[in-house]
A and B are shown apart, each in its own frame.
Chain A
Amino acid sequence: MATRRIISSEKTILDQDDHDGSGPAADQKSNISPAVPMDVIVKLLVFTLAMIVVPIGSYFATVNTLFKGNSTFAGALAAVMANVVLIAYVVVAYKEDQSDQLDPKKKEGKKDL
């Protein structure tokens, strides 16, 4: 009887708060950096805008000036410009791929040294 536990002073798991340094995940660092870097967002916005503006804009800019009313050539130019935007996008994505693969290798090499 002398070692009776005082139950009322213990907290259930629902009452426990995460104090600093006592929670289960307190020793782990949370990754609070933004999931999508700013330059990627800018890149996507630029390409989205280019995708909307460039084909239509090139059509209406050249149909009466460069091609003198021949709308077929102007339409073909619009399709070509859309593909130019696409190729530029693929090139940018491919370069990003290479830089992603090169960077970890550099880090690993530094660790070994």
Chain B
Amino acid sequence: MEDHPSAPDFAPFFGMAGIAAAMIFGSIGAAYGTAKSGIGIAGVGTFRPDLIMKVPPSHTQCLIPVVMSGIIAVYSLVISVLIAEDMNPPGPTRYSLFNGFMHLACGISVGMTGLAAGYCIGVVGDKGVRAYMEQSRVFVGMVLILIFGEVLGLYGLIVALILNTKAKG
């Protein structure tokens, strides 16, 4: 058996761990964001709209945090697909340990920032939708804060894309 110091047999383990980390942590963040803002929407639904507010919040506006949580999962999905395309069954070209660590960094960066962004979207979505029920002027501020939370996940995606190109070269 040949000895490959830079491309050992266990190197693909780290790449696959990167795929799993991207998808698992990103989905945890997206699930938290969806569930927490869903609690807020349900809380709005228990009030009688004709007594409390003059302008009831529409369904489209209440669901903005849920849509943003879905985008977090799309980021994780994109990175998982990109890493999975670079990994092949053992053949003539060996998967180097450098590529494995780089893919692990890709997955963890997009997964953990997705977790952070999903947490932010969940908390802001819950309280924001409840506040929007009583004061509709909060809408623009709520959407802006949600976008700033969403951008955290986008930064992780950008870093992961750059790392992914390095692993190829």
Prevailing SS type, chain A contact patch: helix
Nearest-neighbour CB distance to chain B for A26, whole angstroms, equals 20
Interface bits B51-82 vs A (CB < 8 Å: 1, else 0): 00011101111011001101100110111011
In the docked arrangement, what's the CA distance between A94 and B141, Å?
Answer: 12
Say whether B74 contacts A79, CB under 8 Å.
Answer: yes
State the interface size on chain A (CB cutoff 8 A). Answer: 28
State the interface size on chain B (CB cutoff 8 A). Answer: 32
Interface bits A48-80 vs B (CB < 8 Å: 1, else 0): 000100011001000000000001100110110
Say whether A75 contacts B68, CB under 8 Å.
Answer: no
Interface bits B128-168 vs A (CB < 8 Å: 1, else 0): 00000000100110010000001000100100010011001
Nearest-neighbour CB distance to chain B for A51, whole angstroms, equals 6
Q: Which residues of A contact B (CB under 8 A)?
A: 36, 40, 43-44, 47, 51, 55-56, 59, 71-72, 75-76, 78-79, 82-83, 86, 89-90, 92-94, 96-97, 100-101, 104
